[in-house]
């Protein structure tokens, strides 16, 4: 047996027909908003919400996510996360 650990399988977000262009900024933002709307409606354990989470983490720069999280916690984020 080999002592080398298996590397994790890397998967990126799939194609979304709503965002056909190469610039994926809007796709990133929409998945972020959809995730928080989904967990607000169904809870964090609802499996389909995890797809939005994976997508925005694959598409969005970490700095953007940190900024949006801070804004959401402060109530200054421009999006409506209510369902």
Tell me what pLDDT residue 83 has: 67
- Whether residue 3 is predicted with pLDDT greater than 60 in this model: the reply is no
Residue keyed to tokens 């996360």: 81
Which pLDDT tens digit goes with each residue over 10-65?
777 777 777 777 778 888 999 999 999 999 999 988 999 999 999 999 999 999 99
Q: Structure pTM?
A: 0.74
To the nearest 10°, the Cα dihedral for 70, 72, 73, 76? 90
Q: Which long-range contacts (CB under 8 A, 24 or more apart) does 25-30 make?
A: 27/55, 27/59, 28/56, 28/59, 28/60, 28/64, 29/60, 29/79
Task: Provide the sign of the torsion angle of the four alpha carbons 14, 23, 47, 11, taken in this order.
Answer: positive
Confidence at 80, pLDDT banded by 50, 70, 90: confident
Q: How many CB atoms lie within 10 A of CB 38?
A: 19
């Amino acid at each position: 047996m080999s002592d080398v650990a298996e590397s994790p399988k890397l998967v990126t977000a799939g194609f979304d027909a709503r965002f056909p262009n190469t610039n994926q900024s809007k796709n990133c933002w929409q998945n972020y908003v959809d995730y928080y709307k989904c967990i607000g409606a169904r809870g964090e354990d609802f499996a389909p919400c995890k797809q939005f989470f994976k997508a925005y983490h694959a598409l969005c720069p970490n700095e953007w996510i940190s900024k949006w999280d801070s804004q959401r916690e402060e109530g200054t984020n421009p999006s409506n996360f209510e369902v």
